[in-house]
Structure 1
Amino acid sequence: MSMRLSILSIAVLSAFSLHASEQNIEHIEVKGDFRQLSVMQVAGSVAVLTEQDMQRQSAQHLDDVLQQFANVNFAAGASRGRFIQVRGIGERSEFIDVINPSVGILIDGIDYAGLGLSSVAHPEQLEIFRGPEATRFGTNALAGMVNFTSKNPTFSPEGKVSASLANYNSWQVSGYYSAPVSEQVAYSLTLDQQQSDGFIENAFLKRDDTNNIDEFTGRFKLQYLATEQLQVGLTAHLIDQQNGYDAFSLDRNRTTLSDEPGQDALRSKALAINLAYQGFSFADFTGQLSYLNADSDYGFDEDWSFQGIHPFGYSYQDRYLREREQWTLDYRLVSKPTALLFGHTDWVLGFYTSNRDLDLQRLRRKEDERTLFASNLQRRNMSVYGETQTALTEQLSLVIGGRVEQYKDDYVDIANSQLGSDETMWGAKVSLNYQLTPQTLLYGLVSRGYKVGGINGEALSKAADENFAVLATKASFSPESVINTEFGVKGSSADGRLTTRVAAFYMWRDDMQVKGWINPDLGPEFAGFIDNAASGRNYGVELESRIQLHNQLQLFVSTGYLQSRLGTYFTDSGLDLTGRDQAHAPRVNYSVGADWLLTEQLSVQAGIQGKSGFYYSDGHNAKADSRELVNFRVNYQLPAWELALWVRNAFDQDVGVRGFFFGNDPRDDYAAHVYEQFGEPRRIGITASYSF
């Protein structure tokens, strides 16, 4: 507690000592908010990374980027980390049961929740909203939201091409180009292709590419200035991911024995139409209609071994084929921007609806027996939302927002189990903001977030088996809600050489959704389900700072401190986890980076990202070790060319990104162990970029 208070005290005291003029305010705009305000003017804990920030990490995927954010973590369990936790809240996997992520992902406003972010090449920027954002984003933002914006069209030609080579037979080619078609039409195109053998050696098959990466991402934008008041935009995405999946080792290292390596494939396409109209005298109108279609193929060798490894061995394979089709519509009116004079109120009023059709086929082989489980879930969401901001004085303003959302689920599976749910949920936000100086904002807020419940398809599929009869009581799980209180300070020094943002928060979780497992002493047979724990508590501090020590040296610091607690919760195996830390919620994480300009052409970037150990699951006590990842990058800049030599994880540390605790090795009579999937080892690469 003393550490949190010290950090907060320093930030508050420094904020009161800052005096500056308007032109020195940091003007990085938050694109995901209702109004595109500076990150220093948004009341809430929002972190923003530009393309330059991602380059500092030599980031090629979202996994690399997330290491830089305070109180943010991720889980893999597939070829990539697509499940995100913010402030200790977030899912870690998806098998049979359809989840609604606590931390959603938007790419150019299109909902990619549960699908991940395939490429971060050449972004406009990436934003992480921390804390409940139900008013803005609805049910997908119980803990926060990831908002990615790709390159926007420009009316002057510009482009960039980059190529990278790295160890593990890895390469990447990417580029973007933006140009006008006429005085009213412009477009941008971003393409990225990545390939790698991966970091696994399969000793049985004598291959080093069973956990390979093969990903193509294309993003296209078209902007049409129809009139002075009307702009029309078109966005198109295409993803083709053909990754392998062979990550868990019976020997608990990077050497596997699988005879049937799995796959993690995704083919998706998305289209969105955007409208912006400023012709009304009282408000601006914005809207987006989007469509997404995604087919995924996720499977793995369940025994992680080969037939004949041991007389007591077994041979199982699991595979999940999903089809997802979704439509979303989001329209809103935003009052005309004003100086927010005393007594004046700005407002937002919006309507949102979505329709998802989710099909699943689970193909499982147990020895020579093959089984099929199939299900369909249709989910419809509809909500209205609004927000007002009222100037109480010249410096003090009050923000009140809320959303009411109705969702309806219709579920049916191959056993003709039919279930439905129809519930109404609500979220809200009240914030009091005090603009101490043009560069210093103090805010206090209370917000409420929510997440829909759902159907436990796996429990339904196995409830008829007498060994899993208890699953008959686990057919569904309830919605979850969270209340968040937060106090924050954002400020910059007079000369702009120091920028600091700090937030302290306390969150109450009610009916928190946790992952449970049942294994009635049947060897490899187990079943997963989503359950509701009574409650949970999450509280902590986040700090981000940028310091310009002199004209050639700049430091970046991001650190988070988190305490999380499970309420009264007993697993079905009888384990009492009451009061324990929540899963994937490290108590401390930090990122420290430096940019050092040695000459006009030569610069060095270095950073270290660390986090304390954390529990892998809310169903057992296996833990990940603490880690410290060191990264370097040396850049040589010419007028149009840039050459870079980079190293990630310089000291080659094994970093766990997903973990289980059970017995799966017949060679030791199926004794229980902590089995971990490891993140990337030491990566060494070179990148050449040409801008035009």
Structure 2
Amino acid sequence: MNSARNTLAVAMLSIAAAPSALSQAIEEIVVTANHSDRLLSNSEASTSVVSAEEINQRQATNLAEAVSSLANVNFASGGSNPRFFQIRGIGARSQFVEPLNPSVGLVVDGIEMSGLAAGANLIDTQQVEVLRGPQGTFHGANALAGLIYVAGNRAQQTSSFALELGASRFNTREIGVTANAPINEALAVRIAAKRLTSDGFYFNSYVIDETQNREEHSLRLAIDYTPSTDSEYRLTAYYLDMDNGYDTFNFDNDYTTQSDQPGVDQQETVAASLAATHRGLSQVNIEWNLAVQQSDLLYAYDEDWSYVGFHPWEYSSYDAYFRDANSYNGTVRIRAKDDAPLDWTIGLYTAQRGTDLRREYTYLAGPFSSSFDASTHALFGEATVSINDYSRLLAGARVEQWDADYRDSDGISSAPSETMWGGKLSYEWLLSDTHRFYGLVSRGYKAGGFNSSTELPVALRSYETETLWNTELGVIANGEQFDYRIGIFRQDREDVQIKASRLISRPDGSTQFVDYTANSAEGVSYGIEADTQWRINQSLALQANIGLLHTELNDSSSGLSDRESAHAPSYSATVDLDYQLSTTLSGRVGIEAKDSFYFSTRHEAQSENYVLLNASLNWSLSNWELQLWAKNLTDEVTQTRGFGSFGNNPANGYVTETYVQLGAPRQIGISATANW
């Protein structure tokens, strides 16, 4: 068994060492969002990694800009920075009164941050990992559709200092500093600070101001302590202060608003994680991670999108949501050592999260308040068995106990409790030194819940647990000039949780929008995902990410029949051409394409398909790097959020029409980095 396992491991490592784009040898990318670190070349094709270099090339300032280039990954705005993501057409798109029950998990350096992605501004990020499909073994109920893992840089035993400056259209300014220092042979400290300000690309014609402004400050601290070869400790701490405006929707669906009470999108987060690895025992390694985060959020908007005096039939309303969100999570894993005859992991996971909400709304007699607490306790395990020198079998399972408690000022209370299970079974076969085949079956789950609105009948106050079965087949190749990862998948969903709404007309002609969650009977999705790199020659390389997706929702009781899922474009593609003009000058030209998609399952409004052209020119000399970049060069209009089930314009009698939030227009900027 040892011989077979070692032969397979050496073969997998040889794949990872093959040459790739614009380099003599491919860098070994390690995926950390699993029970054990694993080379990307040794992971399923449903895993994609966006490196720090790629983030810099794309000038990504938030998480959505980093991952939107990946196949079958989408996002919904509805704020200053997107915080809702969809993978293969599954994922939340908004949050108002109800507690969030995410389908796409977000973890930052071991810290549970699901639902708080607006604050993920990529400070000192090493890479962003996206795991498509249910992560029922690793992450549980919050990762029915997949997981986004943000891995920050660790402190190193070398002294360094970096300064980053950037400026671009819309008076956008960015400054960042990073310092790394070894204290002694066992201890190193790394600290990074970042500030981003921008006027934003929306202009309010009533208050005569840019009201989609951004002002974000963040701080990250990393401490690595390795007292011996048998143990290591890693402390990571974050602070974020995001004070952004939110003012986008208007009757003309353009970049000019006319709200007299522009909204805000604020988030202040303090978070930390402590992780350790102990290798001193004879047969096992012990790993543990403890994490905590506390966030204060304010999300508010002018509901009427206009000003007093706009029209005789007008109404005036402002809606504000104050949230105090906190969580802690802890994991203990016991793993077999690398030289053990069987590769296995068992562990325990526990988490507690709570959210206190206060809503101040024009049409309420007084503030609405609610309290939500949820606890999770899980037992998980995973084992890999080498069948022979060229194949292996991996099996994992997780059992999770979920308990929640909800109470609000309307007298609604609920305490659901569920036991859920998930896992995966995969087979891997080494076809040659450069090609590997895999097959995978996995099961994910998402806890049921409740709707608190008193406007809903009792029959709509609760919804059932959703389950998902995922099947994948794929091939991974790493050659001298051409690397590719291609996978095909099918997902079958039962008791699909979908967003629904009720529209209630007020005496003044306006509409009250009651948001709730319901179950559709079933859903099916299937498609293809491909990540490729082609090193054409020493100076030219091509990279492409392509996704094809077909989704169906079926439920005769709700009128859904072969309906596509929301935010599920049938194709998404990114193609980038990198070129090395000289030893100091390089450039990139790329396109991003995405098909149209439904904004919701409850109406027919859709986005428009688009193709974006991006480019950058990089000059590097010694410890300096200068980048001139452009995003959306052709000034294409894109839509990132939309509604189509109500009317909000008194000037046309509140007729139902489509309203959209627009993506960024053409952006041109310059950035400079100095390293010492």
Question: Counterparts of 2:652 and 2:415 in 1: how far apart (Å)?
Answer: 45
* Counterparts in 2 of 1:29 and 1:308: CA distance versus 1, 3 Å: same
Q: How far did residue 21 of structure 1 move?
A: 7.0
1:545 corresponds to which of 532, 544, 555: 532
Q: Which residue of 1 aligns with 2:607?
A: 624
* Counterparts in 2 of 1:580 and 1:221: CA distance versus 1, 3 Å: same
Q: Which residue of 2 aligns with 1:409?
A: 404
Q: Which residue of 2 aligns with 1:355?
A: 352
Q: How far did residue 654 of structure 1 move?
A: 1.3
Q: Which residue of 1 aligns with 2:138?
A: 136
8 Å CA contact 2:586–2:617 kept in 1: the answer is yes
Q: Which residue of 2 aligns with 1:165?
A: 167
Structure 1: which 4+ aligned runs deviate by more than 6 Å? 18-22
* Counterparts in 2 of 1:273 and 1:684: CA distance versus 1, 3 Å: same
Q: Which residue of 1 aligns with 2:653?
A: 669
What amino acid is the match of 1:186? Answer: A
Correspondences of 1:255-654 after superposition (within 5 Å): 255-338=256-339, 344-366=341-363, 370-457=365-452, 459=453, 462-463=454-455, 470-493=456-479, 495=480, 497-522=481-506, 523-571=510-558, 576-654=559-637
Correspondences of 1:2-17 after superposition (within 5 Å): none
Q: How far did residue 412 of structure 1 move?
A: 0.7
What amino acid is the match of 1:430? Answer: L
- Identical counterparts, % of pairs: 33
8 Å CA contact 2:68–2:75 kept in 1: the answer is no
8 Å CA contact 2:45–2:476 kept in 1: the answer is no
Question: Could you say what secondary structure the match of 1:579 adopts?
Answer: strand
Q: How far did residue 562 of structure 1 move?
A: 0.2
8 Å CA contact 2:61–2:121 kept in 1: the answer is yes
Q: Which residue of 2 aligns with 1:203?
A: 205
Q: How far did residue 54 of structure 1 move?
A: 1.4
Question: Could you say what secondary structure the match of 2:415 adopts?
Answer: strand
8 Å CA contact 2:257–2:305 kept in 1: the answer is yes
Q: Which residue of 1 aligns with 2:675?
A: 691
Correspondences of 1:204-243 after superposition (within 5 Å): 204-208=206-210, 210-243=211-244
Q: How far did residue 578 of structure 1 move?
A: 1.3
Question: Could you say what secondary structure the match of 2:629 adopts?
Answer: strand
8 Å CA contact 1:40–1:439 kept in 2: the answer is no
Correspondences of 1:87-102 after superposition (within 5 Å): 87-102=88-103
What amino acid is the match of 1:166? Answer: S
Q: How far did residue 141 of structure 1 move?
A: 1.0
Question: Counterparts of 1:423 and 1:19 in 2: how far apart (Å)?
Answer: 42
Question: Counterparts of 1:33 and 1:292 in 2: how far apart (Å)?
Answer: 21
8 Å CA contact 2:45–2:485 kept in 1: the answer is no
CA deviation map 1:155-192 (0-9, x unaligned): 01123211101110111111322221111100111221
Q: How far did residue 122 of structure 1 move?
A: 3.5
What amino acid is the match of 1:485? Answer: T
CA deviation map 1:118-140 (0-9, x unaligned): 21243211100011111011111
Corresponding position: 1:184 with 2:182: no
1:24 corresponds to which of 12, 18, 33: 18
Question: Counterparts of 2:397 and 2:16 in 1: how far apart (Å)?
Answer: 31
CA deviation map 1:351-375 (0-9, x unaligned): 0000112101111013xx6532111
Question: Counterparts of 1:158 and 1:478 in 2: how far apart (Å)?
Answer: 53
8 Å CA contact 1:122–1:190 kept in 2: the answer is yes
Question: Could you say what secondary structure the match of 1:623 adopts?
Answer: coil
8 Å CA contact 1:240–1:267 kept in 2: the answer is yes
Q: Which residue of 2 aligns with 1:151?
A: 153
Question: Counterparts of 1:622 and 1:21 in 2: how far apart (Å)?
Answer: 46
Question: Could you say what secondary structure the match of 1:54 adopts?
Answer: helix
Question: Could you say what secondary structure the match of 1:371 adopts?
Answer: coil
Question: Counterparts of 2:422 and 2:14 in 1: how far apart (Å)?
Answer: 36
What amino acid is the match of 2:350? Answer: T
Question: Counterparts of 1:109 and 1:184 in 2: how far apart (Å)?
Answer: 22
Question: Counterparts of 1:370 and 1:170 in 2: how far apart (Å)?
Answer: 41
What amino acid is the match of 1:427? Answer: G
Consecutive unaligned residues in structure 2, runs of 5 or more: 1-11, 20-25
What amino acid is the match of 1:578? Answer: S
8 Å CA contact 1:22–1:438 kept in 2: the answer is no
Q: Which moved more, 1:292-301 or 1:64-73?
A: 64-73
Q: Which residue of 1 aligns with 2:5?
A: none
Question: Counterparts of 2:458 and 2:198 in 1: how far apart (Å)?
Answer: 44
Question: Counterparts of 2:657 and 2:237 in 1: how far apart (Å)?
Answer: 45
Q: Which residue of 2 aligns with 1:655?
A: 638
Q: Which moved more, 1:425-434 or 1:27-36?
A: 27-36
Question: Counterparts of 1:477 and 1:323 in 2: how far apart (Å)?
Answer: 25
RMSD of aligned residue pairs (Cα, Å): 1.6
Question: Could you say what secondary structure the match of 1:550 adopts?
Answer: coil
Question: Counterparts of 1:651 and 1:471 in 2: how far apart (Å)?
Answer: 49
Q: Which residue of 1 aligns with 2:8?
A: none
Alignment TM-score, normalising by the size of structure 2 = 0.94
Question: Counterparts of 1:332 and 1:518 in 2: how far apart (Å)?
Answer: 46
Question: Counterparts of 1:118 and 1:141 in 2: how far apart (Å)?
Answer: 18
8 Å CA contact 1:43–1:431 kept in 2: the answer is no
Question: Counterparts of 2:465 and 2:29 in 1: how far apart (Å)?
Answer: 35
Correspondences of 1:29-178 after superposition (within 5 Å): 29-116=30-117, 117-178=119-180
What amino acid is the match of 1:124? Answer: Q
Question: Counterparts of 1:20 and 1:268 in 2: how far apart (Å)?
Answer: 42
8 Å CA contact 2:123–2:220 kept in 1: the answer is no
Question: Could you say what secondary structure the match of 1:607 adopts?
Answer: strand
**Equivalent residues, number:** 653
What amino acid is the match of 2:134? Answer: P
Question: Counterparts of 2:434 and 2:422 in 1: how far apart (Å)?
Answer: 30
* Counterparts in 2 of 1:64 and 1:43: CA distance versus 1, 3 Å: closer
Question: Counterparts of 1:53 and 1:526 in 2: how far apart (Å)?
Answer: 41
8 Å CA contact 2:353–2:375 kept in 1: the answer is yes
Q: Which moved more, 1:260-269 or 1:182-191?
A: 182-191
Question: Counterparts of 1:248 and 1:402 in 2: how far apart (Å)?
Answer: 45
What amino acid is the match of 2:635? Answer: D
8 Å CA contact 1:40–1:441 kept in 2: the answer is no
CA deviation map 1:7-31 (0-9, x unaligned): xxxxxxxxxxx99777427521111
Alignment TM-score, normalising by the size of structure 1 = 0.92
Question: Could you say what secondary structure the match of 2:36 adopts?
Answer: coil
8 Å CA contact 1:99–1:454 kept in 2: the answer is no
Q: How far did residue 69 of structure 1 move?
A: 0.3
Question: Could you say what secondary structure the match of 1:198 adopts?
Answer: coil
